[in-house]
Structure formats: structure tokens, C-alpha cells
Amino acid sequence: MNERELKASWKNQPGITLTVPIETLRRGVTGFQRRIKWRNGLEYLGCVVVIAIFASYIANFPHPLMRTGSVLVILATIFVARQIHVRGSSASLPADLGARPWLDFHCAQLERQRAALHSVWLWYVAPFVPGVVVFRWGVETELAAGGPFARGPWANLSIAVVFVAVIALNRYVAGKLQQRLDQLRSAECT
């Protein structure tokens, strides 16, 4: 087969068919984007609350380790808020150009969110670890017994369990997004 025949064969391929009606696809895409915006809004609100709480700890506790840990947690929160914006924000919806652009856009957004959730341990949990460790060290060594924070190995283990649960939950959701991507890719929409 020469080059001309290959080009002719390429051009004569069957047309694009989509088993999902475009309105259903469009609703799915816009619903997903809306959920991402809602999730990020809650995350940003959580960041504001964390910053306010740890700023109050800086003001109310004279202990150097607790203050240092609070500053580190605030810095981690700012970093994480930025990462949520960079890695997890929703992109602008495409112009109404037909099924294929909507499907490509949705797949790209699913891939982007899956990657963000899969690596949450690196950009979401890990930045908090130094601040929490230093803060907890201050609670354990500088704060008088009967202070406002739980002490001992069970309190510290509980925090570690929360970190692991955040990672596990995000990995689970990333797996669900991967399943959805696999469904979309295996559907007849070439």
C-alpha cells in the first residue's frame, strides 16, 4: 500500500459514533465540574479555618515549639491551598462543538483529578507532617498536664490514623475516577 492509498483509507474510515446522547454527556461534564468547584470551595474554607485556629495558638500559647509548629501548619495550609488551585481546580468548559470535544474535555478533567487525588500524600498530607510533629512535641513537652490538648501515644496515633485515612480515601476516589475513565475509553466513541 502506498502513501496515497493509506491517506484514502484513513479518510474513508467510519464516522464517529457516540453511544451516549450529547445532552447526557454535557450534563455529566457540567455536574462533575460543579462537584469539583464545590469540593474546592470547602477545601478553601477549611484552609481559612485551619489558619485562623493555628494563628490563635500562636497568640495564646507562649511555648516555642507550639508556636513554631503552628507557623509550620499555617505555611503548609497556604501551600496546600495553592496546590488545590493548581492541581485540582476545574477547567473552563469547552464551547458547544459536539460530542467529541466534550468527551475529550471530560476525560482530560478526570485524568487531572485522578492524578491530583492519587498524589495527595505528597502535596496535601506531607506538608502538614513537620508542623504537626513540632506542635505535638510542644504539647507533649511544654504544655502543662491538663492542658487543652490530648496527650500521649493514643492522641498521636489518632492523628496518624487521620492522615492515613485521608490518603486512603483519596486513593479510593482516584480508583473510581480511573474506572470511569476506563468506561469512557471502552465505550464506542472513537
In the chain, what are the domain boundaries? 20-186
* Cβ atoms of 114 and 177 closer than 8 Å: yes
CA distance 129 to 77: 11
Cell of 114: 485522578
Please write the tens of the pLDDT for every residue from 105-127: 899 999 999 999 999 999 999 99
- For the whole model, what pTM was predicted? 0.84
Mean pLDDT, the chain, as a whole number? 89
Please write the tens of the pLDDT for every residue from 154-186: 999 999 999 999 999 999 999 999 999 999 888
